[in-house]
Amino acid sequence: MLRIQRTEGGEIVFTLSGRIHLEDVAELKTLFGSEEKNRPVVLDLKDLTLVDRDAVGFLARCEADGFKLTNCSAYVREWITRERHGNEQHP
């Protein structure tokens, strides 16, 4: 189960807790799409326990779109890096 907490100050911070699966990606896209385009968005992943391939692809696209990923576990960071490099090789 995915839990999302939103806080704001100078930037908008979404703290994601639990598990992100394919069915959560659409909800996150809608949520993030409703934010002001000129405000920085941070995804705090410190309490994220599990992701699937679709979620990693989504996180990689968020980062490519300018979102800052913080407290990203080593395995998720490595997977995002591999996903990005895989997409660069196969457009």
Domain ranges of the chain: 2-89
pTM score, whole prediction? 0.85
The tens digit of pLDDT for each residue in 7-62 reads 998 899 999 999 998 889 999 999 998 888 888 999 999 999 888 889 999 999 99
The CATH architecture assigned to 2-89 reads: 2-Layer Sandwich (3.30)
The tens digit of pLDDT for each residue in 50-86 reads 888 899 999 999 999 999 999 999 999 999 998 877 7
Cα 45 to the chain's mean position, in Å?
8
60, 84 Cβ separation under 8 angstroms: yes
Under DSSP, is residue 48 helix (H, G, I), strand (E, B) or coil?
A: strand
pLDDT at 87 over 90: no
Residue whose structure tokens are 């410190």: 46
